[in-house]
Amino acid sequence: MPCELILALDAPTLRDVAPLLSRLRGSVRWVKIGLELFTAGGPDCVRQAADLGFEVFLDLKLHDIPNTVARAVTAAGRLPIKMLTLHTAGGREMMRRAAQAQAETAPHLRLLGVTVLTSLGGNDLREIGVEAPPETQVVRLAKLAVECGLGGLVCSPLELAPLRAQLPASVTLVAPGIRPAQAGRADDQTRVMAPAEAARAGADFIVVGRPILLADDAAAAARGIMADLA
């Protein structure tokens, strides 16, 4: 399967990106709704994006006690979404219960484990008591997530190759921290890569937000990235 683009809707409301979504219908297939937009718009913004014809990746990074996360997975699975994130740092039982809830109530839904945020580097990890370098910590958490039944992972593009080498081929890898060369800055991401490089490294999906949303011609920027992937 070729690598696909997911457009991150990093906006306060869906209304802010509605004109762009209208222009991208039929070309971009996936959109990501994260905490900011979901907090402002709630489940309705998910339904609206799905009604426009987009596949929805709901990026809530669930992290709580096992019972709470399992119930949240069940609730989210009732929405028109295809992918949902949770933090692998929540541990084995939390992930196992989440995967069980997904299998029983939302078999269409793909659970993705978030390992180490792309905004964190080695110094950041040491500051919170994790002595392992980011790549080592990512692989450790990724293997645990797969053992617990998660179908995919969100990881820095710099960890794509190690994960592809050590995990089953069926595991979906989603890479944020993607910056086209013309974007010129990494914003708050510290472990980044260009779109075509990430695809060659083994990404099934790449997530791009601000380099598209802040471009002078956002639709052209999205089409350029898709051309790179092709």
Condensed to tens digits (0 to 9), the pLDDT of residues 8-28 reads 998 889 998 888 899 888 889
Structural tokens at position 105: 């109530």
User: Residue 158: which of 185, 114, 192, 133 has the closest Cα?
Assistant: 192
Q: Which of 111, 108, 161, 107 is nearest to 139 (CA)?
A: 161
Joined together, the tokens standing for residue 98 give: 């989440």
Which pLDDT tens digit goes with each residue over 131-186? 999 889 999 999 999 999 999 999 988 899 999 999 999 999 999 988 776 554 54
pLDDT at 182: 56
Q: Round the average pLDDT of the chain to a whole number and report it.
A: 91
Catalytic residue, chosen from 32, 61, 82, 143, is 61
pTM over 0.85: yes
Contact 147, 176 (CB under 8 A): no
**pLDDT confidence of residue 90:** 97
CA-CA distance, 3 to 26, in Å (whole number)?
A: 17
Q: Residue 161 has what pLDDT? A: 93
Q: Which of 88, 82, 143 is nearest to 114 (CA)?
A: 88
The answer to whether 171 and 146 have CB atoms below 8 angstroms apart is: yes
Calculate ∠ Cα 67-49-90, nearest 5°.
Answer: 25
Q: Can you read off the two tokens belonging to residue 169?
A: 């081929």
What CA–CA distance (Å, rounded) separates 38 from 224?
28
- The Cα–Cα gap between 67 and 210 comes to 35
- pLDDT tens for 68-105 read 999 999 999 999 999 999 999 999 999 999 999 999 99
Structural domains of the chain, ranges and CATH numbers in brackets: 4-229 (3.20.20.70)
Percent of the chain with pLDDT over 70: 95
82 is catalytic: no
pLDDT value of position 186:
47
**Residue 18 near residue 44, CB atoms below 8 Å:** no
